[in-house]
Chain A
């Protein structure tokens, strides 16, 4: 149980285009999902917290107009990188918390490798 998937697993795009990444909880409902960014050989940096049916809460320094987050259902959150540039190239990871579990454990997706040319 507690499986989180991400799609796509990797994407290459041209500078200036937008890319959408999906995060799904497959066998549980997630009222809260989190989006992280991980640079090579570094730790995870939290970008935003996404709550179903409400606006995402962004961490300081994260541009909300560039990284659009939508959490339309209890099993799906999307991150759209708008007008991507090479500096946006990174590994994007989502996680989800089980709505029905009395715990603060987060379950992580496998990540999406974004390369902007």
Chain B
């Protein structure tokens, strides 16, 4: 079945450090890929998405590139801030209207 695997956390970084959160997927078709972020005490927010191979999603300094050959969608940010501390979920969706399949989530903690 379709699945998403994320690197385990928590990931602890100092402010202005470079961030990578790995995400790989298994899918029978051609999925759309998403990163969602959940700040403490809040609901999930869409951070970025990519719908086909080689697409790059970006938002708020975060980027992720849809790599079909490695079935990956790693999240990166060049310089993290304390306000980026949250839980990050990688997810996939196949076809219009299909349900989202989430990874386990990765806790990011940024220290000042």
A interface residues with partner B (beta carbon < 8 Å)? 4, 6, 32, 34, 41-44, 46, 49, 93, 95, 97, 104-111
Number of B residues contacting the other chain (C-beta, 8 Å)?
22
Report Cα–Cα, A49/B93, bound state, in Å: 14
B interface residues with partner A (beta carbon < 8 Å)? 32, 34, 36, 42-46, 49, 89, 93, 95-100, 102-105, 107
Q: Is the CB of B99 within 8 A of A43?
A: no
Report Cα–Cα, A43/B49, bound state, in Å: 19
Q: Is the CB of A49 within 8 A of B43?
A: no
Known: A34-B100, A43-B103, A104-B96. 4 other contacts (CB 8 A): A95-B44, A104-B93, A105-B34, A107-B46
A60 to chain B, nearest CB (A): 11
Contact of B43 among A32, A42, A46, A93 (CB under 8 A): A93
Chain B contacts for A4, CB-based, 8 A:
43
Contact of B102 among A44, A49, A105, A109 (CB under 8 A): A44
Chain A residue with Cβ nearest B46: A105
Chain B contacts for A108, CB-based, 8 A:
36, 43-46
Q: Is the CB of A42 within 8 A of B105?
A: yes
Chain B contacts for A111, CB-based, 8 A:
43
Chain A contacts for B99, CB-based, 8 A:
34, 46, 49
